[in-house]
Chain A
């Protein structure tokens, strides 16, 4: 059964930016490594290295303790930080699993982007250092 995503929780470096977020994607992707050999009736494959990330769109806010104040130091310093996304703002549970990246880096951040008379948004991409830790699915 489909569910509307209306109240996802987004926490970046421990700061809850849920009230500024309007789009979030938790990307999980593994390389498609082919292992086909002579005599095969079809292509055979194994999953390769994982490449995981978070793509988040936020309403930009330059006020103290808001979006820019949270993201700019992470981008400028190249800091490793934790990202947590839940389907709803409720506590972690079996039906509300948290997807947590423990070693993340902010690689795409456009602090200012927009058009005249339009709401200023910011689209960011956060990649996960898969060598350290993959995205975890936590239910408690």
Chain B
């Protein structure tokens, strides 16, 4: 799953501009959204598990990069890299209401 920052004035998949979005876009969908300036790829950490230098990182080293879906897939399939971090769901602020209150009840 890719991590993106919504950059356009309009939301993408209900994610507001400025917020991050985790989604499995196809290579074509991602390319279109990037070209339209609606998203930017959030760089993530990788480890070079191959035997060649990748993105200036020697074998065994970790590095941060913003690969597209297709580029990352080719590097993963080729045994060059592995992801170091795993995507985490967006952290939401905990509701400060007392424990007795219903957690799914919202005031309008």
The stretch among B1-9, B53-61, B83-91, B94-102 that forms the contact with chain A is B53-61
* Contact across chains for B70 and A81 when beta carbons are under 8 A apart: yes
* Contact across chains for A16 and B74 when beta carbons are under 8 A apart: no
- The range of chain B's interface size is 20 to 34
Task: Using CB atoms, name the residue of chain A closest to B27.
Answer: A79
* Contact across chains for A64 and B79 when beta carbons are under 8 A apart: yes
How many interface contacts (CB-CB < 8 Å) are there between A and B? 73
* Contact across chains for B53 and A15 when beta carbons are under 8 A apart: yes
Interface residues of A in 54-110 (CB under 8 A from B): 63-66, 69-70, 72-74, 77, 79-82
- The range of chain A's interface size is 20 to 34
* Contact across chains for A65 and B70 when beta carbons are under 8 A apart: no
Taking the nearest CB of chain A, how far is it from the CB of B38, in angstroms? 16
Taking the nearest CB of chain A, how far is it from the CB of B100, in angstroms? 54
Residue among B53, B55, B65, B73 making CB contact with A79, cutoff 8 Å = B73
